């Protein structure tokens, strides 16, 4: 891969997807006091936990082996800022419920996959970011005219991923709904298509990806009813790494915009990069 400027189109790396930005791989990165970075440096590779069934965010095309989406590009960008080229990234699919343990066990160095920053999770992992803000929404069959918002969930089978904030929200705050959970959201979408569940709930950004893949059969209804701030998960206590990645995000507004425009923003939506939270 040639060292193009950040955001240059048409990466030569087959893993990066046809129109995704290429990122300038940093040289001589000075990052002291980060056990995670020390590990990355000595192995020459970075292991990044991702989703691979969330179109537009974290998606693996099984036929071509190409990963695509906003989160995948954020992951590529973070790796490049740490001096790791795209061909030295090992992506690992980790479902929502296993993210904290994967980071704590050292199975992954970073996690970039629709991972909401919460106080509960902050006891187990650290987060850089936020790098994106969305909110919980609802996906239903196109023909459904009874579920128009979160107020219509009484007696309805509502599917979400185990260990996710939207699932917990249904359990805690929608006592008359009937929660159903699977490890990954695509299984909920399959259940929705066969009519085994009435709705899928998770972040609206994720649901819009499923709806756009099958607009004849699926639709997103209502307005977002929570605030989900996406962070880059990293091992608890690695403050040097968190500070470094926050700086990459803060200094890289132009790169963030390129990534957004080439993924979630393809339909023309304009969104500003959120401000990093230096907690
Ligand atoms: N952002 C929410 C969460 O972190 C839902 C999406 C997901 O499960 O990855 O729980």
Residue 20 placed within a domain: no
The mean pLDDT of 106-131, rounded to a whole number, is 98
Co-location of 160 and 50 in the same domain: no
Co-location of 201 and 217 in the same domain: yes
Residue 67 placed within a domain: yes
Could you read off the pLDDT of 57-77 as tens digits, one per residue?
999 999 999 999 999 999 999
Please identify, by atom number, the ligand 1 atom nearest to the C-alpha of residue 161: 8
Co-location of 140 and 126 in the same domain: no
pLDDT on residue 82: 98
Q: What is the SS3 string spanning 107-164?
A: CCCEECCCCECCHHHHCCEEEEEEEEEECEEEEEECCCCCCCCHHHCCCCEEEEECCC
The mean pLDDT of 210-222, rounded to a whole number, is 97
Residue 15 placed within a domain: no
Task: Using the mean position of ligand 1's atoms as its centre, give its distance from the Cα of residue 58 in Å.
Answer: 12
Domain range enclosing 179: 136-221
Residue 122 sits in a domain whose CATH number is 3.40.190.10
Residue of the nearest CA to atom 8 in ligand 1? 164
> Can you tell me which residue has the tokens 């960008």?
77
Task: Using the mean position of ligand 1's atoms as its centre, give its distance from the Cα of residue 210 in Å.
Answer: 15
Give the binding-site residues of ligand 1, using a 6 Å CB cut-off. Answer: 96, 113-116, 161, 164-166, 202-203, 228
């Amino acid at each position: 891969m040639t060292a193009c400027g950040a955001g240059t189109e048409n990466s030569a790396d087959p893993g990066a997807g046809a129109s995704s930005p290429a990122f300038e791989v940093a040289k001589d990165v000075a990052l002291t006091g980060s056990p995670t970075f020390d590990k990355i440096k000595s192995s020459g590779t970075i292991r990044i936990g991702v989703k691979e069934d969330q179109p537009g965010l974290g998606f693996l095309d099984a036929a071509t082996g190409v990963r695509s989406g906003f989160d995948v590009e954020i992951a590529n960008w973070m790796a490049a800022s740490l001096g790791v080229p795209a061909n030295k990234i090992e992506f690992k699919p980790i479902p929502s419920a296993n993210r904290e343990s994967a980071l704590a066990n050292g199975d992954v160095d970073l996690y970039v996959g629709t991972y909401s920053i919460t106080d509960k999770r902050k006891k187990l992992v650290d987060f850089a970011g936020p790098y994106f803000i969305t909110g919980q929404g609802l996906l239903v069959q196109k023909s459904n005219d009874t579920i128009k918002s979160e107020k219509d969930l009484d007696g309805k089978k509502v599917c979400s991923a185990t260990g996710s904030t939207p699932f917990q929200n249904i359990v805690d705050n929608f006592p008359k709904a009937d929660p159903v959970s699977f490890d990954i959201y695509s299984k909920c979408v399959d259940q929705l298509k066969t009519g085994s569940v009435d709705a899928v709930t998770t972040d609206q950004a994720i649901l819009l990806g499923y709806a756009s893949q099958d607009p004849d059969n699926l639709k997103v209804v209502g307005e977002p009813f929570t605030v989900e701030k996406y962070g880059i998960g990293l091992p608890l206590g690695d403050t040097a790494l968190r500070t470094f990645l926050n700086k990459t995000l803060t200094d890289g507004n132009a790169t963030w915009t390129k990534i957004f425009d080439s993924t979630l923003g393809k339909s023309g939506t304009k969104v500003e990069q959120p401000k990093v939270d230096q907690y």
